[in-house]
Amino acid sequence: MSGDRSGESDAALWLEVLSGTASSFAVVYERHRRQVFRKAYALTGDVTDAEDVLAIVFLEAWRKRTEVRIVDGSLLPWLYATAGFTAMNTERAKRRHRIALAKLPASVPAPDVAATVADTIDGLAEVRALIDALSHLRPKERIIVQLCLVDELSLVLAAAVLDLPVGTVKSRLHRAREKLQRLLKDSRGTRTTATYFREVTDEPGR
């Protein structure tokens, strides 16, 4: 099938999914992916983890499509519940990974190579300066920096994730970039980092 399918119910679409119609599944994905991503981000607090949860949720929806339940005519309750379980499993896996790493023996010190050490110190100075600068931003500005500059989401997608107007996201990003530039300009070894933030564009197409 082709054309505008926005008027079709989740139940009708899922009947086609049960027969193996991938195009109907794609319509369901486009219809609900933003809401599921927002839910996943609220549960994990991390964009990368939220993207992983989103992918797993819809993979499970396709794999277990005969077990998916429609509640009050919508697939969202099932998708949200699956996102909750997936987020919990993700956090448990990360916790097990941290525990395993803590049990590893201490690493053998690397040879004292002057040039390598100097490069490492410079790099750490940049990272520390950037982390310190980010800590001075307001929480609403930090999340927009995370989404638009670090994770490189477009302004439109960031606005959808945060449920804000695109203009609001754009103005907050602009203010955050100006603050970061001021905070970084006098820091040692941050020329590259400051230049990066200056070069991030604000045009509406992002």
Q: pLDDT tens digit string along 63-89?
A: 998 999 898 889 999 999 999 989 888
Say how many CA atoms lie within 13 Å of 26 toward its Cβ. Answer: 8
> pLDDT value at position 164?
82
137, 179 in Cβ contact below 8 A? yes
Residues with Cβ within 8 Å of residue 133, at least 6 apart in sequence: 179, 180, 183, 184, 187
- Reply yes or no on whether the pLDDT at 198 is more than 90: no
Is residue 205 in some structural domain? Answer: no
- 109 part of a folded domain: no
**What range does the domain containing 39 cover?**
10-100
Q: Where do runs of H (alpha helix) occur along 45-165?
A: 47-63, 76-103, 114-135, 139-145, 155-162
Is the confidence at residue 2, as pLDDT, over 60? no
Spatial contact of 153 and 166, defined as CB atoms under 8 Å apart: no
Q: Which of 68, 100, 132 is the last residue of a domain?
A: 100
Residues 143 and 72 in one domain: no
pLDDT tens string 19-70: 888 889 999 999 999 999 999 999 888 898 899 999 999 999 999 989 998 9
In order of 65, 159, 204, the CA distances from 173 in angstroms are 40, 11, 12
Residue 57 is encoded by which pair of tokens? 């949720």
Q: What is the pTM of this model?
A: 0.48
CA distance readout (Å), 137 to 86, 94, 131, 133, 164: 31, 28, 10, 7, 19
Same domain, 18 and 56: yes
Say how many C-beta atoms besides its own lie within 10 A of residue 149's C-beta: 16
